[in-house]
Amino acid sequence: MTEKKLPLRATLAASVSRTAAALSRATGRGDGSVIGGRLGMMIDPDLLAHLAAGRRIALVSGTNGKTTTTRFTAAAVGVLGEVATNSFGANMPTGHTSALARAGATPYAVLEVDEHYLAQVLTATTPLVVALLNLSRDQLDRAKEVAMMAQLWRDALADHPDVHVVANADDPMVVYAAAAHAAAGTGGVTWFSAGQRWREDAHVCPACGAHIDRDGTDDGWRCATGDLVRPTPQWTVGDSAVIDPEGVSHELKLQLPGKVNVGNAATALAVAHRFGVDPAAAAPRLAEVASVAGRYAQVDRDGRNIRLLLAKNPASWLEAFDMAEQQPTLLSINARDPDGFDTSWLFDVDFAPLRGRQVLITGDRAYDLAVRLEVNEVPFTHVKTFAEAVAAVPPGRLEVIANYTAFQDIRAELDRVV
Ligand SMILES: [Zn+2]
């Protein structure tokens, strides 16, 4: 696609979008993707569709892991040519518009999509592939909203029978969203197994309301009435390898930690495979991804190697425990607007994996965390500041797990020092 083929209004809108984004960046107001996209869409309401036309596109959605999976997928599809992507995590239509305008003409695009916007973005971009990772509560949302989201996804896919879906067989909510598409859609479904650590939102079958039975193995599940069962996945994971549909194992040397990220890598390779990418060619590219929007970043300070892990909802706390090594760990929790004010979710998360290591706590709501850890029988020390935490641990690794604004606070403090 070249921009010469865009309608005149779209060309103007794309240019305004880029200029506004550049101005916003130059004046220090963030990366500018939202304001740039918003202005462009005021001039041409169909700008996203115009910018998407002619590109082969993958969308990535889910409650957790979508930013990382988008980065991995863009790296994998990059085997074929230039890829436009919203790597700053601006995952609503304004962000997509800005990302495509900024990238100019590229044959490919990989876009992270907020789960609430999936239907709208499917319509605007007519993607080749959509990857559905998982659905769980985000902050205050409860299981009821999770089932509603699964239904919205299912309805959205019914309107787009031609799209190919790459979906997580381990999450009953995702399977419900994609099952009708697998049966009736012309685009088809590829199932992958990336595990499901957080199961509290998937006790009840979204199809019929019966109980979801687990068979005692890690990933096996089926609805008690049998109307929803775990599909057999074509892509699976080992400790540090992805096994493709032909049974070939692709050993990964990821810089990003944990089995969670091996699952994200499997998803990326499955999506890229639909574009014609050989997983053996793409796997080494995933090893080049070192940090995603500051997450997993490692900073050396005072002889400590500090690694930052963001945990924004119950499912991502469990994922962070999987990623963190058995090393001193600082937990920081705030309850400001972007975090949600209610910290009762702390009691939904099992902190027992932290037993046996040095645990420090801080943040606006450290006392809520203290109560939770007491109940969970995890010994801890309270520190007032991040600097105090660094001083309290021996030289070596310090794992930091923080929720959204606590993470931003710690990043700002590290940026000041480094
Ligand atoms: Zn059922």
Domain ranges of the chain: 3-286, 298-417
CB 329 within 8 Å of CB 401: yes
CA of 213 to the centre of ligand 1 (A): 10
The count of other CB atoms within 10 Å of the CB of residue 81 is: 11
Measure 197 CA to ligand 1 centroid, in angstroms: 21
200 CA distance to ligand 1 middle (Å): 16
What's the 136 CA to ligand 1 centre distance in angstroms? 18
CA–CA distance, 409 with 402 (Å, rounded to integer) = 10
What's the 208 CA to ligand 1 centre distance in angstroms?
Answer: 4
Taking the centre of ligand 1 as the mean of its atom positions, its distance from the CA of residue 84, in whole angstroms, is 39
**Which stretches of the chain score pLDDT less than 70?**
1-4, 26-31, 139-144, 216-218, 417-418
| pLDDT tens, position by position, 175-199 | 999 999 999 989 999 999 987 777 8
- Domain at 3-286: CATH architecture: 3-Layer(aba) Sandwich (3.40)
* Cα of 204 from ligand 1 centre, angstroms: 8
Residues with CB under 5 A from ligand 1 (ion): 205, 207-208, 210, 223, 225, 227-228
> 211 alpha carbon to ligand 1 midpoint, in Å?
7
Distance 188 CA to ligand 1 centre (A): 22
From ligand 1's centre to the CA of 176, what distance in Å? 9
pLDDT on residue 145: 85
CA of 229 to the centre of ligand 1 (A): 8
The pLDDT score that the predictor gives to residue 217 is: 66
For residue 172, report the distance from its CA to the centre of ligand 1, in Å.
10
Dist. CA 222 → ligand 1 center (Å): 8
Burial 168-191 (b: 16+ CB within 10 A, else e): bbbbbbbbbbbbbbbeebebebbb
Give me ligand 1 centre to Cα 60, in Å.
Answer: 26
Q: Ligand 1: distance of its center to the CA of 217 in Å?
A: 20
Strands 396-402 vs 164-168: parallel, antiparallel or unpaired: unpaired
Query: 152, 108, 53: which is closest to 271 by C-alpha?
Result: 108
pTM score: 0.89
* Ligand 1 center from residue 210 Cα (angstroms): 5
Q: Give the pLDDT of residue 139.
A: 65
Q: Is 217 exposed, middle or buried (0-12, 13-18, 19+ CB in 10 A)?
A: exposed
SS3 labels along the chain: CCHHHCCHHHHHHHHHHHHHHHHHHHCCCCCCHHHHHHHHHHHCCCHHHHHHCCCEEEEEECCCCHHHHHHHHHHHHCCCCCEEECCCCCCCHHHHHHHHHHHCCCCEEEEEECHHHHHHHHHHHCCCEEEECCCCCCCCCCHHHHHHHHHHHHHHHHCCCCCEEEEECCCHHHHHHHHHHHHHCCCCEEEECCCCCCCCCCCECCCCCCEEEECCCCCCEEECCCCCECCCCCEEECCCEEECCCCCEEECCCCCCHHHHHHHHHHHHHHHHHCCCCHHHHHHHHCCCCCECCECCEEEECCEEEEEEECCCHHHHHHHHHHCCCCCEEEECCCCHHHCCCCHHHHHCCCHHHCCCCEEEECCCHHHHHHHHHHCCCCCEECCCHHHHHHHCCCEEEEEEECHHHHHHHHHHHHHHC
Cα(178) to ligand 1 centroid in Å equals 14
| Ligand 1 mean position, distance from CA 182 (Å) | 17
- Distance (Å, whole) CA 54 – CA 107: 7
Q: Tell how far the Cα of 233 is from the centroid of ligand 1, in angstroms.
A: 20
For residue 232, how far is its CA from the centre of ligand 1 (angstroms)?
A: 18
Torsion sign across C-alpha atoms 356, 360, 361, 363:
negative
Cα(171) to centroid of ligand 1, in Å? 14
CATH number, domain 298-417, options 3.30.300.30, 3.30.70.120, 3.40.50.1220, 3.90.190.20: 3.90.190.20
pLDDT of residue 100: 94
What is the per-residue pLDDT for 141? 55
Q: How far is the CA of 212 from the centre of ligand 1 (A)?
A: 7
